[in-house]
Structure 1
C-alpha cells in the first residue's frame, strides 16, 4: 500500500484545536516500515528514543536520519543506536532528503520549539521529549504551528504509564474518596540524581528555564491527568541555596579539579565508557562539558522550589521539589470529600531496601533493565472507617515501567483502547510546562500568575 507508512496518524480526527489525541488513533501499515528521524543525540535520544527502538521495534520502524550540531556525537550515536542511516548537522537538509513519517525531538529543551515547528510546517508528524518547551511564547508558537499544519504532535510523558501511577488514576476515577479537594505532592531528588542536573546544561535558565520546567513538568503532567482538570493560577517560591556559588570551592570540571579528594560531589566520568565516548571525546566540536562543576557561578536555576496551584475545578495543590535530598523518592496525598489517598515510592524509612542511592538513579534510567515486579502500597482511608492498603505490582527500571509501556502502546498496540487516556498531545505538553513557566514568573514578580494570561488555552474544569 503506497501510503501505509503515512497512516501513522492518518486516522486521527482532530476533535478540537489543541486537544489531546487518543493513542488508539495510531496505526501502522504492514507492508512498509515507519521512517523515523531523530534530532538531538544526547543520552536520552541515543538510548530511549534510539537504541531501544531499534532493539525492540525494528520490524516496524527504521531510522532514516540522525541530526545533531556535534558531528562527533553523531558518529557515536549511529554506532550505539545500531543504524546505518545517514547523519546530518543541518536539520532542514535532513528533512528534505529523508522525508520521514515521524520526527523525534530530543535536543536541549530551549530548542525544542525550533524543530517541532519546522517539522510541523514541513508536513511531518512530530514526537518530542518532555518538556514540550520552555516559555509561553514558544508554547503558543507550537500550538499555532500544529493547528495550521494539520499534523500532530506527541509528547513523551512516560510516568503516566507506570503501573503505580495508573493505579492512582484508577482509584481517583472511580471516586474512591469522593470529590478531590486538595493535593500534597513532594518530590525528592537525591544527591546523585539531583546533582546531575546542575552539572549539565539544565543548570542555566537560558537552556532549561529551570527544573520547574525540565523536571517538574513530569509531576505537573501527572497532577493534571490525575485531577482531570487544568491549572488556573500559580504562586511559587524558589531559591538557589545549595549548588552554584554556594559551594565551598569550584573547578573547571570534575576530571581536572584540585578538590577531588575533599568534594563530596566528585564524579569520575572517566569510569563511564559510554559518557566518555559520547561526551568527553566530542567536547572539541561544541565545547559542551558533561562533568561540569556543581558550584560554578553561572548556575542560575533554583534548587529549592515550592508552589501552590489552584485548579479550575477548585482543587488546591501544594507542591515542592528538593534537589539535594539524602534519598530519592516522593510522597503524595489526595484529600477528598469522602476520604484520603496516600501514596509514596522509594522512601527508605517506609520499606527496607538493599539498593544504594547511587545505584537507584542508574537503575531508574536503564531503559531495558526492568526488574522482577515488586509490590508497593497505596493507602485508602475512608471517612469514619479504618484504612485499606491497596497493593500494586511495580518495577524499578525505565521510570517505574512507564518507558516500556509507552513505547509498546505507540509502536505495538496502537489501536487498543486505553481506559486511562494516557496519550499526551500538545495540550498536555503546554498545560504541564506552563505551570513551571508560571512558577518562575511568580517567583520573579512575587505575584500569582494566571494561566489564561500565558497562551490562548483557556483552563477547563473538566478535561473529559
Structure 2
C-alpha cells in the first residue's frame, strides 16, 4: 500500500492582500494535497483574524514571529510583509530550520541582500522568490524562442511597462510610496521586469543609467487630503477610491487600521511621497545586450510591450491587461525573420488564475513533486538579489546622475 505523502507544514507571515489570497486561500484551495497551513503571523491580530477567516483556516494566530517558529517548527515560511522587513524575517526563518518563499522583491538594500545570502548558505536552507511572471505561458514561450535561436543571438531589448491609473495609483496610496519601505518602484515593481530580463537573456546586468521623477502624484496634485474616506475633494478627484465598495479590502484593512494606523486609501497627492512615478533606464548586460526600459504609473492602459532584436530577426509582444477596448483572451507573439525569412504569428491562450496562469504554474513548480524546471523558471535568492541590485542602481543613477555599476553595490553576488 502506497504511503501517504507528507504535506509541507507552512507558516504565513503578513496577512495583506497577497498573503491572504495567493499564499493563503488560493494555495489551500488548489494545493492542499501538498501543503498544510499551521500558523499565521501578523503584528495586527485583527487583520490576521480576518485573513484567517477569508483563507478558511483554523491555524493559530501569532503576533510574535519567534514564538510561532519555536512552537510550530514549520518546514516552510512564506513572507508577505512590507519589503523592508523581509530580510529580518527570512533570516530568522532560515535559522529556525525552515525554507522560505519571499514575495518580491526579496529585500531593499545591498546589506540586506548580503544578510539573506549569508544565512541561506550558513543554514543550508532554501529561499525562493515569487517571480510569477516567469511562469506565465507567454513568457515561457518567449524564453523557448530565444533559446531555440529563433532570431539568432539577441543584441538589444526594448521593454516598456504601463501601469494604469487604477493599479499605478494604488502604489501611491500605500506604504510603497516611500523609498524606505519599498526601495521605490524601481525595486518593488520593476524587480519583476528586471528579473524577466535577467532570465530571458541568461545574463547579469553590469551597468545602469536611470532617470526617475515624481511628475504626476505627490505634490503635483491639484489638491490633497489625508485619505479618501475623509477627503473634502471626493467629488472632483479623479483618484477618489471608495474603500467601502470593495468588501474584501474594506474587511481586511478598514477596521484593522484602528490597531496600527495603516489606512488603505491614503491620498495619492501626499506631499511627503518620495518615489518617482515616471522611470526610464538603459541597462548593459555582461553578454553585451543593451536594454531600453521604462515604467509609467498613470496610463490609460495596463500591460507591457517587449521586443528582442537579434542578428537574424526580432520577437515582439504587446500584452494588454486592461484597456478601454476588447482584446482576445490570448497574447500574440510576432517573430519577424530577417533576410526574407518571413513572419510567424504565435497565439498563446491565457490560462486561468493570476498572471494568465503564471501563479498556478509557479505553485505547481514549487509544491508538486517531480516538476520539470526545463526553462529554469524557479527563482532563488541570487535571482532575487540581481533584480533588486538592478533597481537600486537605476534609483541611485536617477538621483545622483551618471551610470552606476552593479558590482560595487554587492561585489560578492554581482561578480
What's the TM-score, normalizing by structure 1? 0.86
The answer to whether residue 378 in structure 2 is matched with residue 417 in structure 1 is no
Q: List per-residue Cα deviations over 1:375-410 (Å, max 9, x = no partner).
A: 321111111123221222224740121001111222
Q: Which residue of 1 aligns with 2:100?
A: 126
1:160-179 map, 5 Å: 160-179=134-153
Take 2:33 and 2:143, find their aligned partners in 1: how far apart are those partners?
33
Q: Which residue of 1 aligns with 2:53?
A: 79
1:252-331 map, 5 Å: 252-331=226-305
Take 2:331 and 2:187, find their aligned partners in 1: how far apart are those partners?
28
The counterpart of 1:232, out of the listed 206, 209, 213, is 206
The counterpart of 1:392, out of the listed 335, 348, 359, is 348
Q: List per-residue Cα deviations over 1:287-308 (Å, max 9, x = no partner).
A: 0010000101111100000001
1:147-158 map, 5 Å: 147-158=121-132
Q: Which residue of 2 aligns with 1:213?
A: 187
Q: Which residue of 2 aligns with 1:379?
A: 334
Q: Which residue of 2 aligns with 1:454?
A: 409
Please report how far the alpha carbon of residue 60 of structure 1 lies from its aligned counterpart in structure 2 after TM superposition: 2.5
Indicate conservation of the 8 Å contact 1:108/1:208, yes or no.
Answer: yes
SS of structure 1 residue aligned to 2:228: coil
Q: Which residue of 2 aligns with 1:187?
A: 161
Take 1:376 and 1:441, find their aligned partners in 2: how far apart are those partners?
35
Take 1:293 and 1:222, find their aligned partners in 2: how far apart are those partners?
32
Q: Which residue of 2 aligns with 1:443?
A: 398
Q: Which residue of 2 aligns with 1:100?
A: 74
Q: List per-residue Cα deviations over 1:325-381 (Å, max 9, x = no partner).
A: 1111111111111111111101889x9517xxxxxxxxxxxxxxxxxx933211111
Indicate conservation of the 8 Å contact 1:159/1:400, yes or no.
Answer: no
Change (3 A) 1:151 1:397: closer
Take 1:430 and 1:30, find their aligned partners in 2: how far apart are those partners?
37
SS of structure 2 residue aligned to 1:321: strand
The counterpart of 1:334, out of the listed 296, 300, 308, is 308
Q: Which residue of 2 aligns with 1:366?
A: none
Indicate conservation of the 8 Å contact 1:312/1:459, yes or no.
Answer: no
Q: Kindly report the root-mean-square deviation, in angstroms, between the aligned alpha carbons of the 2 structures.
A: 1.6
More displaced 10-residue stretch of structure 1: 250-259 or 444-453: 444-453
Change (3 A) 1:106 1:348: closer
Please report how far the alpha carbon of residue 458 of structure 1 lies from its aligned counterpart in structure 2 after TM superposition: 5.0
SS of structure 1 residue aligned to 2:186: helix
Please report how far the alpha carbon of residue 256 of structure 1 lies from its aligned counterpart in structure 2 after TM superposition: 1.1
More displaced 10-residue stretch of structure 1: 29-38 or 191-200: 29-38
The counterpart of 2:91, out of the listed 110, 114, 117, is 117
Q: Which residue of 1 aligns with 2:326?
A: 353
SS of structure 2 residue aligned to 1:432: helix
Indicate conservation of the 8 Å contact 1:331/1:343, yes or no.
Answer: yes
Indicate conservation of the 8 Å contact 1:160/1:222, yes or no.
Answer: yes
1:22-41 map, 5 Å: 30-41=4-15
Take 2:281 and 2:226, find their aligned partners in 1: how far apart are those partners?
34
SS of structure 1 residue aligned to 2:255: helix
More displaced 10-residue stretch of structure 1: 29-38 or 165-174: 29-38
Structure 2 unaligned blocks of 5 or more: none
Please report how far the alpha carbon of residue 447 of structure 1 lies from its aligned counterpart in structure 2 after TM superposition: 2.1
Q: Which runs of 4+ in 1 moved over 6 A?
A: none
Take 1:279 and 1:400, find their aligned partners in 2: how far apart are those partners?
27
SS of structure 2 residue aligned to 1:431: helix
SS of structure 2 residue aligned to 1:419: coil
Take 1:313 and 1:396, find their aligned partners in 2: how far apart are those partners?
36
Take 2:54 and 2:352, find their aligned partners in 1: how far apart are those partners?
24
Structure 1 unaligned blocks of 5 or more: 1-28, 355-372
Take 2:128 and 2:167, find their aligned partners in 1: how far apart are those partners?
26
Q: Which residue of 2 aligns with 1:405?
A: 361
Q: How many residues align?
A: 412
Please report how far the alpha carbon of residue 122 of structure 1 lies from its aligned counterpart in structure 2 after TM superposition: 1.9
SS of structure 2 residue aligned to 1:236: strand
Take 1:305 and 1:30, find their aligned partners in 2: how far apart are those partners?
51
What's the TM-score, normalizing by structure 2? 0.96
Please report how far the alpha carbon of residue 457 of structure 1 lies from its aligned counterpart in structure 2 after TM superposition: 3.9
Take 1:314 and 1:118, find their aligned partners in 2: how far apart are those partners?
39
Change (3 A) 1:383 1:240: same
Take 1:425 and 1:72, find their aligned partners in 2: how far apart are those partners?
33
Please report how far the alpha carbon of residue 418 of structure 1 lies from its aligned counterpart in structure 2 after TM superposition: 2.2
Indicate conservation of the 8 Å contact 2:364/2:371, yes or no.
Answer: no
Q: Which residue of 2 aligns with 1:361?
A: none
